Chain A
């Protein structure tokens, strides 16, 4: 039995897809057109592919006084990787300690970490800035990512994953003479590879997409991330080189989208399992 195509479903889904794709397409098309035409409102949805040079131009020189776009992309990449790898590293270690050892104050230590779930950076803007100043982390690259890597969500996830490792496996490993660090390297990490991949996507996107934090701790334009840079560009009201801004927007969107799409399989599974 072959049912006729579900036209309603296709119609709704196509509308949904267009809702997300059209603005991005519009910006891509705009990036290849003359800025004055855009200013006059004569934006066409058909890109002029002979003008792709604008991408080379913004990458090398930036626009309207910002850093070159490649520089801002590198800062964003560094920040995203720093946040993702840093968070995974310290969370794996702390979750491993809490799950595989018995020591005094174990529960207290876990709760100390767990409660930070409730303190996003947005609610502690001023005092965190003061602490950053005390440590001379204002306007440093370390200041961009290091304070963001302490958080409870990743620790919670790894705690869940490690708890699910069968006792038999641990016993077998111990009988073979494997110490705790050996077990971590050869068993615990490999069995949680899928979770690490999923978490990496989530944290990479989180790091790439930061706005308030870099705005707060890095006033030096040398440390502008691409998201900070693009908001600066649109803030200039007069004489805006719109084609350059749109090209920058496309470049800012691309890396996190590529990461999400390429790792979609792990990412979706990890997101819906991990955050339950």
Chain B
């Protein structure tokens, strides 16, 4: 990995590194250390300062049924979003990879939604599915289906899952297409000659060969669903009705910024950081294999 030829210099490399190191220390390490510190303290009841409480905030967190419910909700949300966004994307990518007329146009028309912000996806879904002004939302109600995601918790969950998955499909299409294009044509040709066609060829040849892409995307999608959907959920439901769409990130925000419970919010931040570290470590373990392949 190391270069043979390098430049001389002792001060210059540090000057080059300085801006990034400085910003990293200020906006990553300091806040992270601060989160760990704050998670070990609690504000006393009269606001007279904070008291060291050790791991009490964490103990309280994991004894709190509301927190555990939020953990479970987040897991369900992440898997639903990932599976939905990846399944739709894979279907589209497989067909967009075929040699058909206008394939480049199709590709552009499938890739542009990459540019949509998660919060904007929420806005678009509102216009389609809002029970009062949304075109489809009103249609549902007119046809005897009691649709109102602002009141019905499972409908709200379905709505945020759909909006989050919708936004992520194009990202997955890009990667599945790249994955499909990296499968050697000779392998596909050989399968064709052996008589494997259509679904059977996809199931036995294409899909297994896409496994590295699929795994990579699974990790990316889960991280996306867990962290990047704050704006989406906040714009659509604010975590409601009740707490029915309150994922962990929404909860940190509600507890910390709105309810000013710094100790608990910091403990939640620390737990989330550990979560990201585990997922990222997993990703690198398997991505190492991917680049080697």
**Interface, chain A (partner B; CB < 8 A):** 5-6, 8-10, 12-13, 16-17, 19-21, 23-24, 26-27, 30, 38-39, 41, 43, 45, 89-91, 93-94, 96-103, 106, 109, 112-113, 116-120, 122-131, 135, 146-147, 149-150, 155, 163, 167, 170-171, 174, 179-181, 183, 205, 208-212, 215-216, 227, 230-231, 234-235, 242, 246, 249, 252-253, 256-257, 259-261, 264, 268, 271-272, 275-276
Contacts and interface: CB of A to CB of B under 8 A. Distances in A.
A227 B127 contact: no
B183 interface: no
Contacts of A113: 20-21, 24
A130 B34 contact: yes
Interface string B275-290: 1110010000001001
B125 A125 contact: no
Nearest to A101: B13
Given A101-B6, A119-B32, A180-B9, A109 B120 contact: no
A119 B275 CA distance: 10
Given A101-B13, A123-B276, A124-B31, A155 B20 contact: yes
Nearest to B30: A131
A120 B279 CA distance: 13
Given A93-B17, A101-B7, A227-B120, A261 B112 contact: yes
Q: Which 8 A-B pairs have the closest CB atoms?
A: A211-B231, A209-B117, A150-B23, A256-B115, A97-B16, A127-B34, A127-B31, A101-B13
Contact of B252 (A118, A125, A211, A249): A125
B13 A230 contact: no
Instruction: Say whether chain A's binding surface is mostly helix, strand, loop, or mixed.
Output: helix
A126 B120 contact: no
A120 B95 CA distance: 35
A231 B269 contact: no
Contacts of A256: 115-117
Nearest to A21: B109
Contacts of A127: 30-35, 38, 266, 269
B181 to A, nearest CB: 9
A169 B66 CA distance: 60
B23 A259 contact: no
B98 to A, nearest CB: 5
Interface in B160-196: 166, 169-170, 174-175, 178
Interface string B248-280: 010011001100001001100100110111001
Interface of B: 1, 3-7, 9-10, 12-14, 16-17, 19-21, 23-24, 26-35, 38, 88, 91-92, 95-96, 98, 100-101, 106, 108-120, 122-128, 132-133, 135, 138, 166, 169-170, 174-175, 178, 216, 220, 223, 227-228, 230-231, 234-235, 249, 252-253, 256-257, 262, 265-266, 269, 272-273, 275-277, 280, 287, 290-291
Given A27-B124, A93-B16, A123-B272, 15 more contacts: A9-B96, A27-B123, A38-B133, A90-B23, A101-B6, A101-B7, A126-B35, A126-B257, A129-B257, A147-B27, A149-B23, A150-B23, A215-B231, A261-B111, A264-B111
A161 B280 CA distance: 22
B71 to A, nearest CB: 14
Nearest to A38: B133
Contacts of A253: 115-116, 120
Most A CB contacts (10 A, CB to CB) among B1, B17, B114 go to B17
Contact of B124 (A16, A24, A100, A124): A24
Contact of B132 (A10, A41, A252): A41
A150 B28 contact: yes
Given A101-B13, A125-B252, A150-B23, A227 B110 contact: no
A260 B114 contact: yes
A209 B170 contact: no
